[in-house]
Amino acid sequence: MKNRLWLAMAAPLALATPVAFAQTPPTLAKDQAMPSLPPYPASPQVPLVEDHFGEKVSDPWRWLEADVRTDAKVATWVQAQSAYTAAYLKQLPERAALEKRMKALIDYERFGLPQRRGASVFYSWNSGLMNQSQLLVRPADAPVGTKGRVLLDPNTWAKDGATALDAWAASDDGRLLAYSVQDGGSDWRTVKFVGVADGKPLADELKWVKFSGLAWLGNDALLYSRFAEPKEGQAFQALNYNQTVWLHRLGTPQSADQPVFATPELPKRGHGASVSSDGRWVVITSSEGTDPVNTVHVARVTNGKIGPVTALIPDLKAQWDFVDGVGDQLWFVSGDGAPLKKIVRVDLSGSTPRFDTVVPESKDNLESVGIAGNRLFASYIHDAKSQVLAFDLDGKPAGAVSLPGIGSASGLSGRPGDRHAYLSFSSFTQPATVLALDPATAKTTPWEPVHLTFDPADFRVEQVFYPSKDGTKVPMFIVRRKDAKGPLPTLLYGYGGFNVALTPWFSAGFMTWIDSGGAFALANLRGGGEYGDAWHDAGRRDKKQNVFDDFIAAGEWLIANGVTPRHGLAIEGGSNGGLLIGAVTNQRPDLFSAASPAVGVMDMLRFDQFTAGRYWVDDYGYPEKEADWRVLRRYSPYHNVRSGVDYPAILVTTADTDDRVVPGHSFKYTAALQTAAIGLKPHLIRIETRAGHGSGKPIDKQIEETADVQAFLAHFTGLTPRP
């Protein structure tokens, strides 16, 4: 690992002054002249050249990696860029109509997936335009339509609406609730507790929690994962090591918590704890990165006390995801010898564990499994669409779960022996809807109806399979209004990484674009998990270029097949998808008219230096290894901006509290864009305040950001929002 260099700024930045645009920039065709923009805010270059494996690499904007909260020069740069971008976006003629449509489309009553504990049902609820959803509770036997009592209302926690309810879990008897609070979009969480009957908060509070579940041990103790408190000023940038599973007993201070599991000899490993529904076993899964491989340790619980922790799966060789347990039998989703995954039952009643495959690998990728009643419910991905199958606990097929259509089923909520269960279903034209599931019959009915502000019948969804550069067939969904005519300005979205499958889901933002008269396309790129481990492996490490080729081929197909006009293609992606947008824009700037990389990983030579970045080496490779470094160097967005080539209009988006992909990635990339000779179209950055990588963002910020981004993309693709 190369040494980190610290350099002082060569010169201070001037404070931002109001930016004046001489005219409203028109929608441009290829042969139209671009109106001149005022000069971009200054991004001083501080000479810094490093030798990597015999190649000299310049990084003149390294200073922009510093934390905006503590570095005055970065803060001034952010202020200047924000003022410039805000002035530009404010005068876009498409913005007002898109903001109005987004606000209307998101203004519908929403219900989260219920959880039954004791005599109560807990669920999140939003009336439509609440910045944060409330957590409600009602009797388990209440009829449909019964309004629950407000137990937690995050809208009262912060004036700006940027403090959110993250995870929550009720105790086994339903009398207490543990919940985690997310402030300003950060990955850090604070865990608190509340009494369900009276809504009164408990004094207990757990800090420095990150990447953790909340697992009750009975009704008076909680298992959770946390890191050591970071050094002063390093909370939002320092790497995270030595995560530990702790046991907290209610009524005691956090300082009295007991460590349950840690691996100080393996500081990169992260650990998460679960408890079987009957409370008999603690199951701890551990991993080092984002690869779906992990170890498993178990401990028997006797009279509320955790016994010795022993290794069940000691090696990082395959995926083992805990499902649930009944007595001494535990069920797992396993990738051991099964790239598309299988269901394995482990019997712990004897002197040595006994492993039995109860549901073997099928032709479709097994995404998740839950137990409700006396059945396993397995969610498979078939050509990027959900299919849920039922099996008895021995693996005997018991039919398919009825779903409302083509879409995504997720989050089975139920326990062994329960007579009731729930799952969530969504599609491109159907917001997430809670379905009540009868475990005995596998039949579903809507738990609470969702009343929409649009008619899903007005839209059409089709799936196509197009050839990538090497001939691989890649699935892609295309969504349009049924009354749309001719080639349409099209928004193409992709991700392609970390074994994440993008199945159809509802987005009020994407629906805003579609209902305004555009087309939306989702390409299921290699690197994702749509077709199991092989599909993932084909798009990572030294094969990452396949992801970019897949996305470029999607754009070419949309143009060649008349979905979008030649100069009507916009592209968007977030996080790893932001990297995707930056890379393909460098490689094929001629193909796209506008691009918006969101919270992207843009410096592929230093991504592992900050917060969670070290986990990503499984997908990207190790920058300190020469073979990996050379692959990363070839596509790193920050290092491959090409002067002398006309680029599309680009609006980079990030947030000041993003401690997942630190904003320095986007800051440096923007400075490189604005300094290079890449044409006359604008290359801007939008920096959200009191927000992070995406989760917890209040509704008003979501509406504003969508209006800004889509107005920008619409402007340069020719989309005029319909009345």
Residue type, 176: L
Check 575, 593, 596, 636 and give the catalytic one.
575
CA separation for the pair 296, 469 (Å, rounded)? 40
CB proximity list for 143: less than 8 A, separation 6 or greater = none
* One-letter identity of residue 281: W
Q: At CB < 8 A and 24+ separation, what contacts does 437-446 make?
A: 437/372, 437/377, 437/401, 437/412, 439/372, 439/373, 439/374, 439/375, 439/377, 439/414, 440/373, 442/375, 442/377, 442/390, 442/398, 442/399, 442/400, 442/401, 442/402, 443/401, 443/402, 444/401, 444/402, 444/403
- Chain-centroid distance of CA 619 in Å reads 16
- Report the alpha-carbon distance of residue 323 to residue 277 in Å, rounded: 10
CA distances 602 to 195, 312, 576, Å, are 45, 39, 9
| Residue 283, SS3 per DSSP | strand
**382 labelled catalytic:** no
The DSSP code sequence of 380-436 is EEETTEEEEEEEETT--EEEE---SSSSEEEEEE--BT-S-EEEEEEETTEEEEEEE
d(CA 663, CA 383): 35
Q: Is 516 a catalytic residue?
A: no
Measured distance CA(404)–CA(388) in Å, rounded = 12
Identify the bridge partners of residue 346 per DSSP, sorted by sequence position.
330, 355
Spatial separation of the C-alpha atoms in residues 548 and 583, rounded to whole Å: 7
Q: Write out the two tokens for 484.
A: 């749309």
Catalytic, out of 567, 665, 683, 693: 693
- Could you give the CA distance from residue 195 to residue 210 in angstroms, rounded to a whole number? 24
Torsion of CA 524, 530, 531, 535, to 10 degrees: 60
Catalytic residues: 575, 693
